Amino acid sequence: MYPDLAGKTVLITGGATGIGKAIALRMAREKARVAINYLDEKQPYRQVVQEIQSLGGEGLAIQGDVTKEQDVRNLVHHTVDHFGSLDVMVNNAGIENEVPSENLSLEDWNKVLSVNLTGAFLGAREAIRHMLQHQIKGCIINMSSVHERIPWPHFVHYAASKGGMKLLTETLALEFAPRGIRINAIGPGAIDTPINAEKFADPQQKQAVTELIPMGEIGQPEQIAAVAAWLASDEASYVTGITLFADGGMTLYPSFQAGRG
Ligand code: NAD
């Protein structure tokens, strides 16, 4: 637990499912005030707000599409109107789809880049504007991936978006370090969330992914939420511009294990 998170306001994009939901619940346990963004009525956002409340926390759900500038402005404004401030912005919304690159349409390319990278830029920019205006030494967390480092055939748009997120994070971190705003990324490995539901429902595909993980198991969203809580806390007060990989060793070139190579 990180006592300094109590009373802080946290906004999480794509916060009704998977990693975003786990961060929301972790932040509620930390006694932070939690705003979750959801894309549409299909998302179980009401349930997440109820869970936040049942943990004794304050929760708010705000509809919005992170690819739309006005929606992202509204996310920050609504959060600040409701809770009075914004201290931690988590740019978590993300999508992926598998397509061999020679068949990848410009539409699919643009869609993934818009949600994963442009959405994070808009979220970071709006949060930074608020933090600068109110001299808040806030924190921004971008949900990257091991694929900011590991190339991923059939997912070139996804890998490019997360590669872009690395330098988005580093550049903003450098730019706003003198103002006390810390900007970091998290690089999850393979985590058991809706984004992977179809793949992990197939035992063979799940096994194939597990074999890429030196620790031998798929990660849980709560393990990523633990990293987010630490990054947001004062325990990480001297940390900015990093991607903290939480991947069971996936980025360690597992094919070299046992002396191979
Ligand atoms: P998820 O599908 O549960 O979460 C993605 C969320 O983003 C959903 O709630 C979805 O509604 C939301 N979203 C999609 N488009 C949006 C838009 N235009 N506007 C607002 N919200 C939108 O899957 P997840 O695994 O929890 O993914 C969260 C983040 O973690 C993503 O950025 C993903 O790339 C990243 N990630 C996941 C894994 C993994 O293995 N699960 C690994 C590395 C990185």
pLDDT tens by residue, 21-77: 999 999 999 999 999 999 999 999 999 999 999 998 999 999 999 999 999 999 999
- Asked whether 67 lines ligand 1 (CB < 6 A), one says yes
- Asked whether 72 lines ligand 1 (CB < 6 A), one says no
Protein residue with its CA nearest to atom 6 in ligand 1: 14
Q: What band does 133 get if pLDDT is binned at 50, 70 and 90?
A: very high
- For 208-222, what is the mean pLDDT? 97
Kindly provide the b/e burial profile for residues 121-135, where b requires at least 16 CB atoms within 10 angstroms of the residue's own CB: bbbbbbbbebbeeee
Catalytic site residue 2?
Answer: no
> Which atom, in ligand 1's list, is nearest to the CA of 143?
32
pLDDT given at position 127: 98
> Which atom, in ligand 1's list, is nearest to the CA of 114?
18
With tokens 């919304």, the residue in question is: 93
ipTM: 0.99
pLDDT given at position 69: 98
